[in-house]
Structure 1
């Protein structure tokens, strides 16, 4: 999708579409997860059966894209926040209203729901995956600090990344588990934003390093195979998990996805053919698909299982998940066209040239 600066990156929209597919599949599979005694035997499919990792891909994309847009620029922070509100609030507000209408029966429930939504400003409580929008906005609050830090000291973001890991270690020792904070809050997600920014800073080093990127991705797949084998998100050994793996999972996801984003953006130049345009459009509609799919994905999975084929085989389940995801694309288009897009014309440019660069 075009930013307020008029920039458009087709490849990044394609990656955003992949992230939406991963998250959709995660929820589609969850309905029948108990039927699968073991995870997929081929590691790449673990990214779908543990598709919560798609959120990490979205976070890395945000860090990378903002670093790319803000290169050699000064940001007008108030205008920046205004643009982000225009981009995110209309659909999120509609989602909140729909969830309220379908779940509230009396005044007491209405008051409780309003309190629940207001808590979402700080806590991960917004419905339909809206919790990740809260995390994203927390990132926006510290974005100027991150950019200033990266300008003042070359390796400052690397030191900050190390500090976040130390903080999670200390929290783990105090709380006995860190999954809740690592997954649902900026305590863990900050790594993915930082690594996205760092991936852009070092994109020239990453460009064309095909074997290195492939090697890193293979190790990432093997790690996720191991993570899935150990019980994954819900059963390692329970939820929330007391496994210390959650100290470093945000970092591993952030490092791997950010490398792939920077490599794809700077090594691959997608042609403007029909396939690339369609896959990029999936990314363009991904925000709508992400928030709206909660209304459909579980019912789709149950319908297939009850009326077409029993979803007891993971590979068959993944095939039907892809087919159902295709149904979400026109839904995402309609949402983008009539809910998101009308507000985008009010965006204003928040950038101006600056001689200082992000080193």
Structure 2
């Protein structure tokens, strides 16, 4: 979608759409208890492990954010106040509505509203906001760090890699101290900063990845093989339990960030995409992806249960993925309504935060 500067990168809308589909599929086929497809299942087609472990779509979102902001700024300075203002206008209106709806549901279910309000207040620092709102908390932690990261990029592209090295070292120390690092690596900036930073770093060399199909293929296939291994070992919840004590989570965020950053740079700079037809349709999904992401939580688990119990069994992974695609496409309807009447009015109030 168009930034406040008026720039529009249709390829990045395509990437948003893919990331949203991965996350929605993860929730549709597994829910939180391995229903209708058990968590123990591993696809025979190893590339599909990225759907079986579709939570990795969040890593794609994070890496894309780092890449996009580096591309928009492109060596210029920013007005930090205007930048934060734009981010608030972009993310907060729909998030507030989701928080209110979830609060009403909490009351109707007879649960404690005071506890719910406490969790919402904690969401400023901790991953406690509902409906995937925890990732918005992580995004805002990244926004606070953005001026420092941009300054590092202005001094030397390689400086930003020190952030990645330090985060790996921090996760190593915390794993040794706590006995597990999955909960921090997945849900907080401690694991996600790698992905933001690597997206920004690779963006500086994005033209070098244009038409480098072999490099992109190697990066993407490597990530698929890593996730195939990860899936075989038990995946997100069963490696061997949740939270996992495996040191694999020390490096997994970095592996995701490297592969996704290369893939994004390659896709963004290797092709010329049409603004009509299928390309436009996918870009519309990307435009509505934030609404789809926050709103699908309200219905995704019930939708999977309805299909499995009323239409046909979708305990088969491939059938479940097919139905998740149908569900995802249907989510474009509330996605459009939300974008049109909730998001768009506030987007008109944005300011140009990039200094000339």
| Bin of the TM-score, shorter chain as denominator length | over 0.9
Q: Report what 2:29 is aligned to.
A: 29
User: How many angstroms apart in 1 are the aligned matches of 2:29 and 2:203?
Assistant: 33
User: How many angstroms apart in 1 are the aligned matches of 2:278 and 2:171?
Assistant: 42
Q: Report what 1:271 is aligned to.
A: 274
Quick check: 2:288–2:336 contact (8 Å CA) kept in 1?
A: yes
Q: Given the alignment of the two structures, is residue 260 of structure 1 paired with residue 263 of structure 2, yes or no?
A: yes
Q: Report what 1:78 is aligned to.
A: 81
Instruction: Tell me how far 1:110 sits from its aligned partner.
Output: 2.4
Which residue of 293, 299, 312 maps to 1:290?
A: 293
Which residue of 291, 302, 307 maps to 1:304?
A: 307
Instruction: Tell me how far 1:107 sits from its aligned partner.
Output: 11
Q: Report what 1:346 is aligned to.
A: 349
- Paired residue secondary structure (2:77): strand
User: How many angstroms apart in 2 are the aligned matches of 1:346 and 1:254?
Assistant: 32
Quick check: 1:217–1:256 contact (8 Å CA) kept in 2?
A: yes
Give the unaligned 5+ runs of structure 2: none
Instruction: Tell me how far 1:149 sits from its aligned partner.
Output: 1.2
Cα gap change, 1:321/1:162 in structure 2, threshold over 3 Å: closer, same or farther? same
Instruction: Tell me how far 1:38 sits from its aligned partner.
Output: 2.8
Which residue of 307, 316, 320 maps to 2:323?
A: 320
CA offsets 1:227-274 (integer angstroms, 9 cap, x no match): 000000000000000111000010011111111100011111112231
- Paired residue secondary structure (1:52): helix
User: How many angstroms apart in 2 are the aligned matches of 1:66 and 1:336?
Assistant: 21
Q: Given the alignment of the two structures, is residue 10 of structure 1 paired with residue 10 of structure 2, yes or no?
A: yes
Quick check: 1:60–1:254 contact (8 Å CA) kept in 2?
A: yes
User: How many angstroms apart in 2 are the aligned matches of 1:34 and 1:20?
Assistant: 19
User: How many angstroms apart in 2 are the aligned matches of 1:259 and 1:273?
Assistant: 26
Cα gap change, 1:237/1:37 in structure 2, threshold over 3 Å: closer, same or farther? closer
Give the unaligned 5+ runs of structure 1: 354-359
Cα gap change, 1:347/1:264 in structure 2, threshold over 3 Å: closer, same or farther? same
Quick check: 1:26–1:51 contact (8 Å CA) kept in 2?
A: yes
Q: Report what 1:213 is aligned to.
A: 216
User: How many angstroms apart in 2 are the aligned matches of 1:158 and 1:86?
Assistant: 30
CA offsets 1:88-117 (integer angstroms, 9 cap, x no match): 000000000000001125999222221110
- Paired residue secondary structure (1:275): helix
Instruction: Tell me how far 1:317 sits from its aligned partner.
Output: 0.7
Q: Given the alignment of the two structures, is residue 114 of structure 1 paired with residue 117 of structure 2, yes or no?
A: yes
Quick check: 1:36–1:314 contact (8 Å CA) kept in 2?
A: no
Cα-Cα RMSD: 1.4
- Paired residue secondary structure (1:87): helix
Q: Given the alignment of the two structures, is residue 42 of structure 1 paired with residue 45 of structure 2, yes or no?
A: yes
Cα gap change, 1:108/1:26 in structure 2, threshold over 3 Å: closer, same or farther? closer
User: How many angstroms apart in 1 are the aligned matches of 2:250 and 2:40?
Assistant: 27
Cα gap change, 1:129/1:106 in structure 2, threshold over 3 Å: closer, same or farther? closer
Q: Report what 2:158 is aligned to.
A: 155
Instruction: Tell me how far 1:204 sits from its aligned partner.
Output: 2.0
Q: Given the alignment of the two structures, is residue 87 of structure 1 paired with residue 60 of structure 2, yes or no?
A: no
Quick check: 1:36–1:313 contact (8 Å CA) kept in 2?
A: no
- Paired residue secondary structure (1:352): coil
Worse-superposed segment, 191-200 or 32-41: 32-41
